[in-house]
Amino acid sequence: DFLARAVPGVQKLSPYVPGKPVDELARELNLDPAGIVKLASNENPLGPSPKALEAIRTELAELTRYPDGNGFELKSRLAARCGVSVAQVTLGNGSNDILDLVARAWLAPGLNAVFSQYAFAVYPIATQAVGAQGKAVPAQAHGHDLQAMLAAIDGNTRVVFIANPNNPTGTWFGPDALESFLGRVPQDVLVVLDEAYIEYAEGDELPDGLDYLARYPNLIVSRTFSKAYGLASLRVGYALSSPQVADVLNRVRQPFNVNSLALSAACAALDDADYLAESRRGNDAGMAQLEAGFAALGLSWIPSKGNFIAVDFARDAAPINQALLQEGVIVRPVGGYGMPTFLRVSIGTQAENARFLDVLGQVLARG
C-alpha cells in the first residue's frame, strides 16, 4: 500500500482540481472550442502581451541549452521595479513553486502552518506534502480573521500563509490590519503574504507588501505573472523577502525551475505598462458588469478585489454548475473549499461575461 507508506499527511490530501480545460468540454459536448466560455481559472482574458509573445519567438532560437538557472535578467528587473536588491528575489515555477519552496525549507512532521478557512488550496497541499500539519482558522465574513490566526500560532508553527486579495473569496484586508498582524507574529515565524492578484488592486485600500519588507525580515511577499500579466501557462512567479530568507529558498529550489521562454516573456511583460493598465481597466469594467448582472438576477456575491467573484445561489450550486457546463460555460465550483452554495467566476471579456450572464439567467429561469 504505497499510499499508506507515503509521507504522513499525504493520505489526507486530494489532488488539486483545476478548472475544466476548454478542449475537454468541447469534446464532451461535441462543440467547437471557440463556442466555449471559460471563466474558471482567473486567467487574463486579453491573452498575453504582444511584447511577451515577441520575446518568446526570439527565445525559440535556443531551446537546447539550459535556461539561466539564476534568472539574473528577470531578477534584476524585478529588483529595480520593486526597490529591493537582487539578493531579495527568488524565482518560482509559478508562485505555487514559491509556496512549495517555503514548505520544503521550513515545514516537516511535528511542525505546522497556519492559514485561513477558504484559503487557496495549495497551502494545505504544500504543507501536508512534507508531513506538516495545516491549521485552518475559521474565516470572518469569508475573509481572513487575522486575530484568530495570531491566536492559532503555537510553538510548532513555522509558517503563516495569508493572501491579499484572497482566492477564492476575493476578500482583502487593509494596511492597519497587516501592520498590526506583522507586529505581533513571533519574529521567527515566516509570513507568506500571497499577492497573486495585487496588480488588480493597486491603489485601492490594500497594503503593498513591499512596504513592509525592510521592517519584517520574516515576511515573504509572493507574486505571479499568471494573472494580470497574462502568462499562466508559462509558470513564472517570484518571492520578495529578506536576503537571508531568499538564500534559504534558493538552497531548496530546483536548478532551472523557470524555463527560458518564461524568463524572457516575463521580462518583456514587465515592460508593457499599457497591457497591464488595459488588464486592470477591463477587469474593473467586467467586475461591474458581473455585479450588475448578479443584482438583476437577485443574487448576492462577496465583494472582490481580484479578477474573479464568488456568487452565492443560497442553495447547492453543483446542479447550476452542471447546467452551465452543458451550455458550454465553465466556471469554478468551490464546494471543495467548503462553499457549496457558491460558484467562483473569473472576469472575462465583455462578450464572455455577457454570454455567461445570459446562460446563467436561462439556467436559473428553468428553476
- Note whether 167 binds ligand PMP by CB under 6 A: yes
> How many residues form the binding site for ligand PMP (CB under 6 A)?
13
Residue written as cell 460558484? 343
- Note whether 337 binds ligand PMP by CB under 6 A: no
Compute the distance between CA of residue 244 and CA of residue 235 in angstroms, rounded to an integer: 25
- Note whether 224 binds ligand PMP by CB under 6 A: yes
- Note whether 238 binds ligand PMP by CB under 6 A: no
Please count the CA atoms within 13 angstroms of the CA of 181 that sit on its side-chain side: 28
| Residues between 119 and 158 with contacts to ligand PMP, criterion CB under 6 A | 120
* Residue 48, phi-psi category: left (phi > 0), alpha (psi -120 to 50), beta (remainder): beta
Residue 278-317 contact track with ligand PMP, rule CB under 6 A, x = bound: ----------------------------------------
- Note whether 170 binds ligand PMP by CB under 6 A: no
- Note whether 95 binds ligand PMP by CB under 6 A: yes
- Note whether 163 binds ligand PMP by CB under 6 A: yes
| Nearest to ligand PMP of 74, 357 (CB atom) | 74
* CB of 166 vs ligand PMP, minimal distance in Å: 7
Contact range with ligand PMP by CB under 6 A, out of 47-55, 94-102, 260-268, 341-349: 94-102
Q: Which of 227, 218, 128 is nearest to 170 (CA)?
A: 227
- Note whether 226 binds ligand PMP by CB under 6 A: yes
Contact range with ligand PMP by CB under 6 A, out of 101-109, 224-232, 259-267, 288-296: 224-232
Report the 3 state secondary structure along 45-106: CCCCCHHHHHHHHHHCCCCCCCCCCCCHHHHHHHHHHHCCCHHHEEEECCHHHHHHHHHHHH
- Note whether 272 binds ligand PMP by CB under 6 A: no
Binding site for ligand PMP (CB under 6 A): 42, 94-96, 120, 163, 167, 194, 196, 224, 226, 232, 237
